[in-house]
Structure 1
Amino acid sequence: MVMIFRSIKIFFTIIATTLYLNAQVSVTASVDANNISKSETFSFKIVALNADESPSVDISPFTNNFKVISGPSQQTNIQWVNGSMTSSRSLTWTLLSLQSGKLNIPSLNVRVGNKIYKTNPIGIVVEKGFGRAQVANLFIEAKPDKEQVHLGEQVTITYRLFSQLPLSVEDIEYPKTTGFWKEDLLPARAARFTNTKQINGITYRVATLYKSAMFPTQIGDLKISPMTAICNVEVSQRKRRGVFDDPFFNSMFQETQRKFIESDTLTISVVSYPKEPPIDFTGAVGQFSIDTWLDTLNVAVNEAVSLHVLLKGTGNLNQFKINQIKFPKNMEVFPPTSSFKRDEFRDRITGEQKFEYILIPRQSGSYSINPIALTYFDPDLDQFFTIKSKPLSLVVNPGEAISTAFGNNRREDVNLIANDIRYIKTDSTIKLFSSEGSLPFWVLTSYILSIAFFLFPAVFVRVNNQRINSLDFRINRRALKTALKDIDKESHDPFAHFSYVMYKYFKSKLYLRSDKLDPLILENILKPKLPANLLIKIISLAKTCDANRFSPGSNKKAKDIKIEITKLLKETDKKL
C-alpha cells in the first residue's frame, strides 16, 4: 500500500512539474529580415508565451534609428499539442530604417503583469539603397532651376515621382527647410501620372508631387531635406517554370510590397550682392515698377482722400517694405492697408501689391506729395536699380464756416426769424400727448412696432453670425477646462483615453481641422510654438500613450501618466 501511495505521489509531482514548465512565461523579440536595403520596411515582433496579460513595452530606445510606419498590432494565439495548451500574445510593428550600416535594436524591458522581462538585442544590416541605380524602377527626382542664387532671389524646386510599376502612394513627407521663405506653386496632392518620359531608353510614368518657390533669407550653403514617400508597389511573384508559366497566368500572381523612397538632399549656394546695397534698399529682389495716384485732386479741409501705391513685377513681392513716405505738414495720415495678388499661372512669383493711405488735410492750400522711390536688385543683370513714382498735387479748399453771431442783419432776416422762433413756455407741467398737433397713441405704437419688426431680422442674423464665427474661439478658450474634465472620466483603456484627450486638446487649442493626430504630426505643428524641453515632454508622453494603448500596464502606471499629462497640459496652455 505504501508503494502505491508513493507511486501516485511521484505521478502527480511529474504532472505538476510539467504543467509548471509549460506555463512558465517567456518573452522573445524577432524581426522578419536581418539584411535589408534602406528602402525596405521590416516587421519587429515581441511575443510573450503563456502570458495571462498582453505585454507592454517602451520602444523609444530604438526610435532614433528606426521610424514606426504602423503598429503596434496585437495578436493572441492558443494551441493544443498532445494535450498541452500553449498560448502566446504578440505585438508587431512595421519599421523603416532611418540610417544605413550596421544598426542594433537594443534589449528592451517588457512588462507582463507585475514582472519585467528583457528581450535579446537584434542586429540589422541596412544597405544604402537609394538613387536611380539602386531603385531603377521607382524614384523621386528633386530638381532646382538654380543651384546658386543671391540673397532674396527665387529658386524653384520641382519634385517628381518616376515609376515603371503600378503603385499607390501611402504617405508623403514634404521637405523641410531652414533659411528660406517659401511659397507653394503646386500644392501638395496625390500622385497623378499625367505624362511619360524616357531615361536611357527606359519609359517612366511621371507624376509631379510638389513645386515650391523658395527665397533664401541668409547667406551660405543652405540644405533642403529630402522628400520621402512610402509606396505600395505591385510586383509579380517569382514562380518556377511550369504549365502556367504564361503572361496570362502570371498576372494572377501579384503581391504588394511596401517601398520607401526619398529624393536627394539639395544644397543651394546663397551669395551676397556684388556690391554694398544703397542706403534705401529694403530687400526687393527682381524686376519691379511703381505707380501712385490720388482718388481725387480737390478736397475740402477735414475731408479724407486716399493715396494708392501699386507695385508690380516679378520677384520677392510681399517680402519687403517700401520706404517711409514724407507727407506734408498739417496732413493727418493713417497706417496703410495692403493687399497682394499673385499670377497663379507663372512659376516665378509675379503679381501686384497695393498700399492705400488715408490722408486728411487739416488746413487749406496746395499740397505736393513727393515721388516714392524703390531700390531693388535685379539678379538677371546683377546690379541695383532705383525707380520713382510721379509727384502728386492736391488742392485743399477751405471748409464751410459756421457763423455764431448775428451782425448787420437785414429786416427780412429778422422777420423770418421772428416767424420761426416761438416764445418759451414756462409751465412746468409736461404732457406726453397734447391735445394740439400730436399723434394719437395707437398711431405712435404702430410706428414703433413696424420699426421693430423691420429691424429685428437684421439684428437676429447679425447676432447669430457673430455667435457662429466665435464658436471656434469659444472652443479654444475652453480647451484646457474640457481636457481636464475629460481626463478624469473612467475608461477601460486609459492609455487610449489619455491619447484621445491630448489630441483633442491640441485640435481645439490650435484650431486644427481634425484630432486624428500622431506624435510626428504633433511635433511638426508644435515645434515653432513651444520651447524644446516642453516639446520633448509632450512628444514622449504621446508616444508612451500610443505604445501602451494596445498593451495596458498597471493601474499605478496609468495614474502616474494621468498626473503627468494634467501637469503638462496646464504648462502648455500658458505657453500657447
Structure 2
Amino acid sequence: MQQKLFYILFIFASVISYGQVNLFMESDKTDYNGKDIVNLTIILELNGVDLEPQTRFQLPDLSKFTIIGSGSVTNTVIDPATNTLITQKVTRIALEPKKKGKVKIGSVLVTVNNKIYKTEPFDVNIKDIIEKRSLATNMASEMYLNMEIEDREVYQDQPTIAVLRVYSKNMDNFRKVKDVRLPHQDNINVHAISMSKSEIDPSGAGNMASQTLAVFMVFPNEAGYVEVSSVSASVSSYANKNKIVSNKVKLNVKKLPEGSPECFKNAVGNFSVNVYNASKDKIEVEKPIHVIVKVSGEGNLPDMYIPKILASPDYEVFSPKITSKVAPGTTGMKGEMFANYVLIPKKSGAISIQTEQFAFFDPASREYVDLGQETLALNAFSHDQILESRTTVEKVNEYTNTLLETVNTPVLKTTTFKVKEKSKFHWNILLTNIAILVGLFLVYLLFKTWQKKRALVRETASPKPLGSVAETEKEIRETLKTDINDYFSYLENLKDNGDYPKFFDTLEEMDLEVRNQYFKSSSEEFRTFLESHKGSSVAEEYRNLLQRIQMEKYSPLKSAEGMDELLKAVVNLYSRISK
C-alpha cells in the first residue's frame, strides 16, 4: 500500500514539473529621484514543450509614466537533469515618471494554454520630480514653455524633431516672447528648422492658447540616455524683463549596430561622394589647381567627417576650405558639403588623386554602406608643352594681352580688354582685337601728325648729339623706370589693412613694371635675362618667389606672419633687380 502511494505522488510531481509557468515583474529599485529612469523587468518562464504563449504581455496602466524605450529577448535551454525544455522570455521597459509620490504599478497579464497568468502589483516612490514646465516667478500662472519630442528612441547621430511651444491664458503675452535660445551641449548637435512664430492656437491644453516658437533637429552624438537641456526665452514688458525655460527631455539613444567598416566614422543617413577639378584651364606643373570633394545627401551632413584627399608624391595638397549648402529635410539636414583643396602637381603626365574610403550607416535599411574610394584622373603638362599646344589664335590673343598691359593708360584701362583663353574659336574676339589695334594705330598717326605741326611752329633748336647705343638704351630705361619704393609702401598698407586680393594685384602690376624696364614681356624671358646678367642664383630666387606668391594667393587660409615674410622677400629681391 505504501509503495502504491509513493508511485502516485511521483506521477503528480512529474506532471506539475512538466507543465510549470512562472511569471513575475520587478523594478531595479523602489525609490527614485526626479532624474532617474524606472526600469521594469518582466520575465516569463515556461518549463515544458507543450506550453506556448497565446497573447503578448498585457501591460498595466502606465499613464503616470512616459515610455522612452523597451526591448525583449527570448532564450531556450534544455535542463540536463530533467531533460525538460525551458523557454524564458525577458522584456525590459524604461519609464520616465511624470508625477512625484507613491505610484502603483499594476499586474502584467499573459495567456498560456488558455490560462491567464498575472504578476503581483507593487509600489515605487518618486521623489523630487522635475515638472514639465519651469515658469518665471511672476508669470507662473500665466504662461510657460514646453518642448515636445515625439520620437525619443533614435540611433546615434540620427535626428529627431523637437517642437517648442509657449502656452498662455492671455493672448497678449505671445507678442512679448523673444530671444529663443536653443540648447548647447557636447553630447547633442542642434540645427534649427524654423525660428518663426506660428499662428496662435486657441484650443491649447488646460484652456490655454498655444503658439509654436521654434522647430529644430536634435542629433545625439553618444549612445545611452541623453537629456536634452531646456530651451529658454525672454518675456519683455514695459515694466521688466523675465526669463522662462522649458522642460528637459530624455532620449533613448541606441548604439549603432556592430560590424561597421573600418572607414566608418560618424556619417548616418544616405550620402554620395563626388570629386572633380574646378579649374577650367589646362593643368600645368608647379601651378595650383582647385579640386573639390563634394558630399551630398541627407542625414547628419553638417556634423559628419568629409573624406580627405590622400597625400601623394605626385602632388602637394593643402588644407581645404569647407563650405556647405544645406537645408532641413525629412530625415535630416539635406544638401551638399564642399571641401575645396588647393593642389600643386609635381610631375607631368597622368596623375591619380584618391580620397579616403567613406562609409555611412543607413537607418532606413539598418545597414552600413561602404562607398570605397573616389578617384580623379588628371593629366598635367609642362610649361613647354603648354606653349607648344597653343593655336595661332591663342598666340595672337596672348600678344594682344601683352600689348594691352604694356600701353595701359589712366584714361582707358585697356587691361579690361584682355582676352581669356577659350576652348573654341570666336570670331567676335578676333575682330575686337583687330579693331583695338587699328584704333591704337590711328591714335599713333594722329599723335605723330600733331607733333609735326607743332615742330613747324616752334623755332628750330640746335641738334642734340645722339650718343652711343648703350647710352641711348640707358636713357630709355631711366625714362621707363618706376620708383619701386612707392610700390613697397603701398603693399605694406594693403597688408596691414588685410586687403589681400588688392595686395596680389599690386604685386603683379609691380612685376610687370620691373619687366618693362628690361623690355621683357613674360616672366620666363625675364628669368632668362636675370640668369644672363644677374646670375643663376638671382634667377632661381625670382622663380621661387613667383611660385610662393601663387601659393599664397590661392591658399584658402592666409596668416599675418606668412604675409609679412612674403613682403620681406619681395622687397629684398625687387630692390636688387630694380637697381
TM-score, structure 2 normalization:
0.40
TM-score, structure 1 normalization:
0.40
Larger Rg: 2
